[in-house]
A and B are shown apart, each in its own frame.
Chain A
C-alpha cells in the first residue's frame, strides 16, 4: 500500500508494458478497461461533494441511528429479531454494504461511518469542514511500520468472526462491539495520526478495502502533470479548503481503491480542482500490478474461506456446528473456533498455495527463470476478490429474503417496547421471494466464476506477458480451484 507514513515502500513489481495476447483489454470481454466517466464534471455535483456537510449530514444520521442502536442494545429485551440493532446492522446494513455499497461505491460507508467520526472530530477540534486551526489534537504519533498492513485487521476480523453466532443474534453483543470500537478508536485517534484505526484495526475496513478494488467508482486525479508540478501536495497536507487525506494516502498518484475512504477531502483541498470521481468498469484495480502483498492475499483468502464456512454453519444441516458457533457450551465453541481458524488460516490458504505451486510447475519452461511461488500466490489471490465478494452477496440473499420483513416491524418499535411509531410494528414475519433465492445465488455465483476467470486470465497475462502458452498452463489449476469453490458454495446454497 502507499501511505505517507511509509515512504520507503518497496518499488512496485514490474508492470509489463506489453499486453499479453490472452488479455483483450476488456473487462468480461465487453467493457474496455480504460473506459471512464467523470461523475464530477458537472459544477453542481462538485459543489455538493465539496460541501462540508456532504460528509457530515450522513454521518450525523448514522450516528443518530447508531446511538439508538447502542442504547437499545442494553435497554431493550434481548430478542434479536425484535431489536433494531440486530436487524439494521446484520441484515439491512450488511446487505446494503455487500450488495450495493462495496460493489458500486467502494468504501463509501467509511465516509459516513459514525464510529470513528468522534475520534476524527476530536483530532480536528471541529465537526464540520476545515477549521483555520491546522494543529490537530492528540499525540500525533506515526503508526508502527511493522503493523502498517492488513495483518492486524485480518486477525481482528477472524477474532470477531469466531463470535458471529453471538454478535449477530444478541443485541448486547452488538452494542458492546460498537461501544468498544468507539472507545478504541478514540484512544487510537488521540495517540496516532489521522485514521489509523480505520486503516489498521477496523475489522470491517480490511475487506471493504480489498473488495473496493472491484467497485465501479474511483477517486483519481484528472491531470497527472498538474499534480507533478503542484507543490505542496494539498491533497496530502491539506489546504484552507480541505484536510489532507485522512487515510494517509497519496491521492494524486492513487491507482487502487483499497485504502481510499471515499471522503472526497482531496476534491476539497486541491486548489487546482484536479481531483475527480469517475465511473469505471468493475474490477479494474485488481489488474493493477502494484503494491500487491501477502496481507491482502490472505484477506482475500480469509473472506472466501469465511463465506464457505458461514454457509456451512448457517445453511448446512449440521447442528453440532451451529451449537459451537452459538456458544452452546464453551467446549463446543473452542472446538468450533479451533476448526474455524485452522480452516481460514491454514487449510484454505494451504490449498491455494498448492494450487499456486502447481500453476508455477505447469508453466515452467526449461532454461527460463520462473517467478517465485509467492508471486504466483499473491497475484492469483486477487482473482478471489470477485469470487469472495459475490459469494458474500449470494450468502446475503439467504439472510435478506427470509428475514428482511423483520426490519419493517423494528422500525416502528426499535427497542421492542410495544410501540408502533410508523404503523408497521404488527407486520408479521414473512419470507419474501425466498423461492427465488437459489436462482439468484446460482446467477451470482456463475457471474462470479466468469468474472474471476476473466481476471485470472489477465493476471496470467501479467505473469507471462510474452508467452501465452505458459500463461494458459499456469491458469489451469487456478480456474479449477475457482470452479471447485463455486461448486462447493452452490452445493451449500442450493444443494
Chain B
C-alpha cells in the first residue's frame, strides 16, 4: 500500500467507524436519558409494551417517551391518570408529560385495536409516594401474566341500577352506550368479552312509558368488530339494529318511543349475532308503567348468559371462543352477570331480613331457557316473561326464555344466604349461581327452624308398619 492509499484508507476508515460509532453512541445516550421514561410498543405477540411496569412519583412531573416499534398503529392511554388516547403510528414516537396526583397502580393500555392479541397490549404505571423506591414495587414478567393479574373486571354489580323514576311526565331521555371489547380472566385464563360499557350485562336502562329515548351507541377504536343494538322494547326494523351498525371508531344514534311498559332485553345484533351475544353483549331496559312500580326496599339486576370456550388456550395464552360449541349448545359456563359464580362472597349484596326485594332477571342466552329459582324463597309476585299486566303469585320457579326477562318480587322472613340458581341444576356446576345475603335476627315465629332430634316424635318400630300403606 503506497502512502496515498494509506492516507485515503485511514481517512475512509475513520469516516466509516467514526460515523457508525457516533450513531451507536448517540443512540445509546438517547435511550439512557435520565429525564424521561422510555416506553417501547411492539406488536403484542412480540411482547407488547416494554417495560411492563414503570414507576413515577406522586406529585412530581414525569415525562414519558413512547415509541412505536411495531408495524401497526398503537395507542397509549392511562385514563385513571388523565392520559387520554394518544395514537402513535409505526416508527413514530410521542412524548408526554404529566404529574400524577393519586397514588396506586394504574393500567396503561393500547387504545387502538391493533391485532387479535390487542388485549395483551397493557402495562402498569405505579405511582409511588415521595421517597419510596421502585425496587420493592411489583414487576410483571410477561404481558399474559399482567393480563391475569390486571383483568378488566366485567362483572356487573347487581346493585348497579338506577333508582325508580318517580315522575309523572314523559321526557326525552338521553342514553349513551359504548361497545367495549375487553379481556377478563375466566377460570384463571384471559378471555375476550364484548360488552356494553365494559360490564356484563350492559347498563340497566330505565325509562318511563311514553318517554322518548335518544340512544347513542359508540364503538371505540380499540374494538376489532362492528357492534350494534337491538332493543326488544322498540318496535321497528331490527328493534333499532337496522340503524345502529357501528364500526370501530364510529357512533350512531336512534330515537324511539317507549310505548310498552315492561322489562325487555337489549343485545348486540351484528352478525354473527349469537357470537356477539354470548361474548356478553346483552342487558335489560325497564320501561316503567306510567303509574310506576310498587315501592320495594331493594332492587337487584341479574342476567344469565352462556360462555363457550375452546378447551386449549391460544398461542397468546387466551381462552378462545368456540363457535362449534355454541352451535352444539354445549356451554362451558352458565353465568350470572358475566362470570361463573361471580355474585358470591364479597360481591354478594347484603340486605336486612324482612326487606321487600325486586329482582330484574334477564336471560341473554344464547341457547338455554332458564328455570329461575331462589333457594329458600317463594316469589310473592312474578311478572312472567316481563309482562307487567298479570303477575303470578307464590311462585317457586319461573322460566325465563333466552332473550327474555322477568321481574320477581319477594320478601325474606329469615336471615340467610339466598342462592339464585337456574334449577336445571347441572348448570350450577357450570357457574349458574349467585348469592344474596339477608342479615338480621329471625322474627318471632320463625318460618323455619332447626329442631333437636330429642324432641322429635318417636318413630314407630318398623314391624308396626307392616300391613300399612295407602288405602
Contact = CB atoms under 8 A, between A and B. Distances in A.
A257 interface: no
A63 B67 CA distance: 30
Given A79-B71, A416-B91, A64 B5 contact: no
Interface in A93-144: 125-129, 131-132
Contacts of B2: 126, 131-132
A418 B9 contact: no
Given A63-B16, A68-B23, A128 B5 contact: yes
Given A68-B23, A126-B2, A129-B4, A79 B12 contact: no
A129 to B, nearest CB: 7
Contacts of A132: 2
A81 B30 CA distance: 22
Interface in A68-101: 68, 71, 75, 77-83
Interface in A349-396: none
Contact of B67 (A71, A75, A418): A418
A128 B7 CA distance: 10
A178 interface: no
A77 B50 CA distance: 14
B13 to A, nearest CB: 10
Contacts of A64: 15-16, 19
A179 interface: no
Contacts of B69: 77-79, 416
A60 interface: yes
Contact of A79 (B4, B65, B91): B91
B16 A67 contact: yes
B5 A79 contact: no
A127 B15 CA distance: 15
Contacts of A128: 4-5, 8
A127 B4 CA distance: 9
Interface in B2-33: 2, 4-5, 8-9, 12, 15-16, 19-20, 23-24, 26-27, 30
Interface in B51-65: 65
B167 to A, nearest CB: 52
A93 to B, nearest CB: 19
A415 interface: yes
B248 interface: no
Given A68-B23, A75-B24, A78-B71, A418 B65 contact: yes
B4 A418 contact: no
B464 interface: no
B1 interface: yes
B5 A81 contact: no
Given A64-B15, A68-B19, A71-B20, A125 B1 contact: yes
A132 B3 CA distance: 13
Interface in A180-226: none
A71 B67 CA distance: 20
Nearest to A80: B71
A415 B30 CA distance: 13
B90 interface: yes
A419 interface: yes
A64 B9 CA distance: 13
Contacts of A415: 23, 27
A56 interface: yes
Contact of A418 (B1, B8, B12, B30): B30
A83 B2 CA distance: 38
A417 interface: yes
B93 interface: yes
A417 B26 CA distance: 9
Contact of A81 (B8, B15, B91): B91
Nearest to B93: A418
Nearest to B69: A77
B27 A60 contact: no
Contact of A77 (B15, B20, B91): B91
Given A79-B71, A125-B1, A128-B4, A417 B20 contact: no
Contact of A126 (B5, B12, B16, B92): B5
Contacts of A68: 19-20, 23
Interface string B314-349: 000000000000000000000000000000000000
Contacts of A418: 30, 65, 67, 93
Given A67-B20, A418-B67, A418-B93, A127 B5 contact: yes
Given A64-B15, A67-B20, A75-B24, A82 B91 contact: yes
Contact of A82 (B26, B27, B90): B90
Contact of B8 (A67, A127, A131): A127
Given A75-B24, A77-B69, A417-B30, A127 B91 contact: no
Contacts of B65: 418
Given A79-B71, A418-B67, A60 B12 contact: yes
Nearest to A82: B91
| 6 interchain residue pairs of minimum CB distance | A82-B91, A77-B69, A79-B91, A417-B27, A418-B93, A79-B90
10 contacts: A63-B12, A64-B16, A71-B23, A79-B71, A82-B90, A127-B5, A132-B2, A416-B91, A417-B30, A418-B93
Interface of A: 56, 60, 63-64, 67-68, 71, 75, 77-83, 125-129, 131-132, 414-419
Given A60-B15, A75-B24, A415-B27, 13 more contacts: A71-B20, A79-B70, A79-B71, A79-B90, A81-B90, A81-B91, A128-B4, A132-B2, A416-B91, A417-B26, A418-B67, A418-B93, A419-B30
